[in-house]
Amino acid sequence: IDAQRRVKINQDFVDIRMLGSRLEDIFKTANDRVMFVSGDPSLPFGEVATVIDIAKGAGIDKIGLIPKPLEEASQ
């Protein structure tokens, strides 16, 4: 999730309203339903939590958070 609250899956922007169905499509044949989430440090955590909730609703079993390096987050 970038500072403008745009959601990307790999390098493709995805409308947050379509995120659940897009994740279902991606993971429908996957045995391991693992996803990693990274949010811009300027965002409130609630924005990231919304994406996590959508992913859980789409059947993602494990969700990891990717923190920004401290020097990058402080800029």
Tens digits of residue pLDDT in 19-63:
999 999 999 988 899 999 999 999 999 999 999 999 999 999 999
What's the start-to-end Cα distance of the chain, in Å? Answer: 17
When pLDDT is averaged across residues 7-30 and rounded to a whole number, the result is 94
Query: Cα separation of 70 and 25, whole Å?
Result: 34
Whole-number Å distance between alpha carbons of 1 and 74: 17
pLDDT (0 to 100) of residue 75: 55
Q: Out of 16-20, 51-55, 70-74, pick the least confident.
A: 70-74
